[in-house]
A and B are shown apart, each in its own frame.
Chain A
Amino acid sequence: MQVRRSEIWRRGYRLLGTMALAAISGAVRAAQAETLADYGCEEPIHLAFYEFGPFYHDGIGIDRDVVDELAARTGCRIETTTEPRAQIWQELEANTLDMSTGGIRTDARARFAYFIPYFGLKNAVVAGRDIAPQIHSFDDILENPNWRIGVVEGYLHGPYFDYRLSVAGARVIRYPDQNAIYRALQDGEVQVIVSPAFNYEYFFPSEVQRRDFALIDVSPAPPISEDMLFNKRRFTPAQIGAWSRLFEQMRLDGTLERIFRRQVSPEMARILMTY
C-alpha cells in the first residue's frame, strides 16, 4: 500500500519534473532516446553471469530475471554470457566486459568498476548434522583441526569469514564454484563449507538432504551488500546515478523482492532485501 502510494507520487513528480525541464529547456526530447543516453546504452551492454545457485544456474535464476527487468525498463540491449567468476573480474578490469552481477565492493575493484547495491548476502556455514551441534561460531570450527573447510575460489565472504579463513591455512579447500563445495561436502572432502544461506536451500532442496546437513548462522554481521558491477570505462557517474535510481525503483516497487521470491524461500528473500 505504502509502496503503491510512493509509486504514484514518484511518477507524478517525475512527470512534473520532466514537464518543468521541458519548459525550461524549450525542447521536448524523446523519452527513449533520453533513456538510452542516460543509462549509457546507446551500444549493447555486455554482461556476464556466473553460476551462483538460485541467482544463476542453467541459464536461469534471479540474476537473469533482474537483468531482463533492467533491460525492459531501460530499453537497453544487454547481451549476456556465462563465465567463471575469476574471469569476470579479469574482464571487467580489462574493459572487455560492461557489467556483471553480484560482487562485493573493494577499493581495488572500485578502481575499475562502479557498484550498485543489489541484494544483501548472508554467509553461513553448512555442516553435517553429526558435528553441527558443536558449531556455534566459526571459531568452534577453527578449533577442530580435523575439519576441512570448503570455500569457492575468489569469493569474498565478508570480514567475519575472510579474517578467520585466512588463519585456517591448509584446512581451507578452495573449489571453483558453489556446486563444487556442496559436492565436496556431500562427498566428505570437507566437513564444513562457507556458503550464502540461500544456496543451502538451493543445493539441498529435499528434506532428506537437509536432515543430513545443517545450515548454521555463525556470523553476527549483517548481510553484506552484493552489488551489480558496472565497468567504469563504459559508464559515467551520472549514468550510474540513473542505474542506481532504477535499482531503487525496483526495490521500492517490489519488483526485486518478487524476483527473489521466485527463486528462494520468503525467508531467504527477506534476507536478500536487507541491504
Chain B
Amino acid sequence: MVDATSEIPAAVAKRTGEPAGDPALRAERRLRIPLLAVAAGTVIVLLSVVAGALSWQAYRSAQEVLISASTETVGFVRDSLAEKVKRLLEPAQTQLTFMMESDIAQAATLPERLRLIPVMAVALKNNPLLDAVYVGYPDGEFILFRALPDREARLRLSAPDNAVFVVQTESLAADGQRIGEYRYYDATNALVGSRLDPAYSYDPRTRGWYNAAINQSDAVLTDPYVFFTNKAVGITLAQRTVDGGAVVGLDLRLKALADQIAALRITPSTDMALVNRKDEVVGYRDPDRMVTQDRDGQMRLTTIEELHSDPLLAAFHLSAGGDSLARGRTDIAGRNWQLVQTSIEVMSNRQLKLLIAIPNDEFFAAARALVFRQLVVAVIIMGVAILAAWWGTKLMVRPLRRLARETARIEQLDFDSDTRIGSRVGEIDDLGRALHRMKRTIRKFLNIGHALAAEREMKALIDRVLAETIDVAQSDGGAIFMLDDRQQTIMSETDRWMNGESGPGLKGAAAIPLGGPGIIRKFAEAVRSREVVVAEIAPTEAERAVLGLGETCERLKAERLTFVIVPLLDRNQVPFGLLVLIKATGGGEVVWTVDERLTKLIHAVSGNASVAIQNKLLLEAQKKLIDALIKLVAGAIDAKSAYTGGHCQRVPALTRMLAEAAVRQTEGPYHGFRLNDEEWEALDIAAWLHDCGKVTTPEYVVDKATKLETLYDRIHEVRMRFEVLKGQAETAYWRGLAQGGDEAALRAEMEAEKRALDDDFAFIATCNEGGEFLEPDKIARIKAIADRRWTRTLSNRLGVSYEERKRMEQRPEPPLPVEEPLLQDRYDHIVALEARDIVPPDNPWGFILNAPKVKFNHGEVYNLCVARGTLTDEERYRINDHIVQTIIMLQSLPFPKHLKAVPELAGGHHEKMDGTGYPKRLKGGDMSVIARMMAIADVFEALTAADRPYKKAKTLSEAMKIMGFMKRDNHLDPDLLDLFLISGVWRDYAKRFLLPEQIDEPDIAGILAIKPQPVRA
C-alpha cells in the first residue's frame, strides 16, 4: 500500500512532465543506466579485476618461477662452464697423455721432430681451444706447434697466406748457437715457408711449466695467464714424458670460455665473469677486457676491481657463506640486478668463482611478457565477453523493454494486444509469462467488472459471473446457488459447463436443504465458515442426483470431482449464495491443484461477483420497491375514487400493448420503432403515474356526481328548504284559517303551493343529477325557483369551520329571522384562489392555462345551472389540473437519467394533435410517441371502463366511434390510432379487461378511413 501511494506522485509527474520535486524521481533520473551498460560495465570491471589479479598473481608466480628457474639457470651456467672447462681440459689431457707416451722425447733431430707435423696438425685442428702444443727438451731445444686459425694470427707470425699452422723451433746449431725458426705449413701439411728469427729465443728450461712438470710425473696446470705469443689469456697444461726426456705442454686458450660465457648469457645484459683465487678475471665475455697492460708494459690479467663492472663487483662481494650458491640484489644507477655467486671446480680442487649479474628488467622480461600476453588474452576475452554480455544482455533487454512497454500499457489499462513476450532467458520468459497472465487476469477482471456493470439482468449477470469465474479458474464447470433467507436451503440460480454448455441437472432443481450429507455438508461448511472450501469427492449416485451431475459426470468420464465452494457474501459478510466450481479429475489423469494462488483468484473474482450480485439484488429490490410504490400510488389514486376505477392500472397495460405493437412493426410509420429496457421502464413508470396528480384533486370534485355535491350532496339541504317551505305553506293555511280565511281557498292555495314546491324540487333534483343538457328555459326556471323565499331564524355562522366562518365574516350577519332565497349564490360560496394555486403564464413547465378567477364557486344556483354534467368551470379546471399536478409532481422527483422523460410521457396524454389540449397545448409533433400512445390508451380506457359510477360502460363500437371523431378532430394521433386498430391491440385489451357485453365488432375499416380534418393554422 505504501509502495502504491508513494509511486503515484512520481507517475503523475512523469505523465504531466512537471519538473519533479520528488527526490525519488530525481534519483531515478540520475541513476538511470541502461542494462547493456551495466552488463558491459560489470563484465569489464569483473574481468579487469580478475585479469588484473590473475596477471599480478601470474607475474608474481612467474617472478618466483624465474627466480627459482634462475637458480637452475645459474646451475646450468655453472655446469656448462664447468663442462666447458672439462671439455677444455679433457681432450688436452688426452692429447697430452698420447704425447707423453710417444717417442717425441727421443726425436733428437729436427726432421724427426717435424715428422710430428701430421699428428700435431690434426690435434690443433681438432681442438680449437688448443693454442699450441710444444715440447721442451733438457738441452734447451724446443718445438712448438701452433695453429694459424685466422689472418690476424698469420700476420702476427709473418706467415704466408696459405699457412694454417706454424712450427716454432729452438734448436742448437753444430756450434751450440741457438737457432730460432718458424716453419709454415699449409692444409696439406706441405711446407710453404720458413724463417729464421734470431730474436726468437725461448729456453723452456727457464719456464715455470717446464720446471714444474719435469720434476713430477703428474700433469701441471698453471693459473690462467696472458700468453706471451699472442697476448691471449690461457692456461698451460704440462707433463713430463714417460721416459722423462722432455716436457710436453699444451697452451689452452680461455677465449673459448669467454665465448661460452658470452653464449651462456641469460639475458642480453647479463654480465658474467669467472674469477680466480687471485681475484683475476679469467673468463669474461669481452676477452680484451681480461687483459691489462702493466706500467712496465707487461700484459697481465685484469682483476675484478679493474673490470669496472659494478654489478659483477657487487656479486663478487656477496658472501657465499658456505653455500655453493649466494644470491643477492643490488640497485645500480637505477637498475635492479639479481646477483649470483657460485664456483666452478676446475681441476684438483682448484676453484673459480662464477659471478653473474642479471638486470631485473630483462630477468623478469619473460614474466612481464607473460603478463602482457595474459593481459592481451584478457583483453581479447574481455572483448569477447563484452560482446557476449552485450548480446546476452540484448537478449534480455529487448524483451525487458517490451515488458516495460507492456507494463506501461497495463498502467494505462490498455489490454488490446494479447502477445506474450517470450525470451530465451528463463527468468525473463517467466516474467513475460507472468505479465501475460497478469494482463489476462486484469483484463479478465476488468472484463468481469465491465460485464457485471453492464449486465442489467440479474440472471444474465449471474450467468456471466459464473462463466468468467469458470474461465479464470479453468474449471470444467460450476454453478451459483442462492441461499434462502434463513440459510437453510440453497437454490441453483445457474450452472455452466465446458464450452459454455448449460448443464442438464442443476437448472431448475429444487431447493436443496443444507443439512444433507456428503458434498452438501461441504456447502454448509462454506456457508458457515464463510471461507473457500475445497473438496475432492467421488460423488455417490445420490449426490449426483441431488446436484443433477449424473450426466455431466458421465460425459466428462469423471470418477472424482473437485469442488471449490466459494461463499458469496454481502456487505455485512453474511452469505447469500454459493459459487461452486467443479473440475472432473477422473482416473487420476487430471489433477486440479487448487493452490493458494487459484484460491485467491477465485476469491477475488467471487468477491467482485458477490458485490455485483448484491448490488444487482439491491437494485432490483429497490426497483421492485419503487414499482410497488408507483403501483401503490396508482392503486391509491384508483382506490381514492371509484369513478376512476382501475384506470391507473389499465392504462399502463394498454400503453405497453400498443408500444409492443409498434415495436413489432416491420413497415409503416412505426417501422424501426424500438424501445430499450430503460425506455420500457420509463414507459411503464409514466403510464403508471400518468394520473398521479389526481392525488391533489379534491375527492368531491373527482367524484362529483351531482351538481350540488361538495363534500356531500347539498340537495338534501335544498330539499329540507323545500320541506320548510311546504311547512310554511301549511302554516299559512292554518294561520289563514285561524284568521278566518276561507278554508277551501286556503287549502287550495296550500295544496297548490305544495304541488308547486314538489314540482320545483323535482325539477331541481333532476337538474342536480346533471344527466341532461340544461336548456336556457330550465336555467330560467332554476333561477325562478331560487327566488322563492324562506325564513331562516338560526344563525348560519354557528358550528361552521374556520374557513367557512372566515368567508362568511366578509359581511356582517343580517338580523334574524332573515328571509333568504331558496337557492342562492352567496359570497361565502366563493373560495378564493390561493397563491399556490396560481400558475403564472411564464411558468417553468410551459403550461398554457385558462385559469378561473376563483378556486371554487359553491354557489347553489351557479352549480345547478351547469349546462352539461355536474362540474363547474372551476371544478373542471381543478379536475384538469391533475395533469398539471402530475407534471409538477413528477418533475420534482429525482428521476435517474434514463427516466428523465417520465414527466413528459406521463403529462402528455391530454394534449391533442392540433395543439388544443392541455396543459401545454402541444401539437402532435411536439409530443413523444409514447405520450401519444398514452393519450390513446387513456381515452380508450376511459371510454370502455366499466367501473365508472357516473356512466355506463361503452361498447367497443361506441368507444371506437368516439375515437374516430377524435381522430377526425385531430385529438388523437391518427397513425397510432390506425396501429391500435390494425394491430388488434384493442381486441387483446378487450379480452383481458372488458365485460363480454361490451365486446362487439367495431367498424375498424370505417374508422381507419376517417381522415383527420386539416388543422387550421
Contacts and interface: CB of A to CB of B under 8 A. Distances in A.
B37 interface: no
Given A238-B172, A274-B188, A244 B109 contact: yes
Contacts of B815: none
B198 A38 contact: no
B631 interface: no
B797 interface: no
B111 A9 contact: no
Contact of A244 (B114, B160, B175): B114
B171 A248 contact: no
B109 A21 contact: no
Given A10-B195, A252-B193, A238 B188 contact: no
Contacts of B111: 114-117, 227, 240-241, 244
Nearest to B172: A238
Contact of A241 (B158, B160, B171, B195): B171
A86 interface: no
B174 A13 contact: no
A38 B188 contact: no
A2 B160 contact: yes
B175 A37 contact: yes
B174 A236 contact: yes
A88 to B, nearest CB: 19
Contact of B110 (A34, A38, A240, A273): A240
Nearest to B184: A6
Given A116-B111, A274-B188, A238 B194 contact: no
Contact of A10 (B109, B110, B196): B196
Contacts of A10: 194-196
A238 B191 CA distance: 20
B197 A251 contact: no
B564 to A, nearest CB: 117
Given A115-B111, A248-B183, A274-B188, A21 B177 contact: yes
B108 interface: yes
B173 interface: yes
A17 B177 CA distance: 11
A242 interface: yes
Given A13-B195, A20-B198, A274 B190 contact: yes
Contacts of A94: none
A52 B173 CA distance: 34
Given A38-B174, A236-B174, A242-B174, A6 B160 contact: yes
A186 interface: no
A275 B190 CA distance: 7
Interface string A207-237: 0000000000000000000010000000011
Contacts, number: 80
A114 B109 contact: yes
A237 B195 contact: no
A75 to B, nearest CB: 15
Contacts of B171: 238, 241
A16 interface: yes
Contacts of A237: 108-110
B544 to A, nearest CB: 124
Given A14-B196, A274-B190, A244 B174 contact: no
A10 B196 CA distance: 7
A17 B110 contact: no
Nearest to B162: A2
Interface in A4-57: 6, 9-10, 13-14, 16-17, 20-21, 34, 37-38, 40
A17 B181 CA distance: 11
Contacts of A80: none
A239 B174 contact: yes
Nearest to B193: A6
A2 B108 CA distance: 31
Contacts of A240: 109-111
Nearest to A25: B177
Interface in A232-268: 236-242, 244-245, 248-249, 251-252
Nearest to A7: B193
Contacts of B188: 274
Contact of A252 (B115, B177, B191): B191
Given A2-B192, A237-B109, A241-B173, 4 more contacts: A17-B198, A38-B173, A116-B111, A241-B109
Q: What 7 A-B pairs are tightest by C-beta distance, nearest first?
A: A17-B198, A241-B110, A238-B174, A237-B109, A240-B109, A244-B111, A237-B108
15 contacts: A2-B160, A6-B195, A17-B196, A17-B198, A21-B177, A40-B174, A117-B111, A238-B172, A238-B174, A241-B109, A241-B110, A241-B179, A248-B183, A249-B194, A252-B191
Interface of A: 2, 6, 9-10, 13-14, 16-17, 20-21, 34, 37-38, 40, 105, 114-117, 227, 236-242, 244-245, 248-249, 251-252, 273-275
Interface of B: 108-112, 114-115, 158, 160, 171-175, 177, 179, 181, 183, 188, 190-198
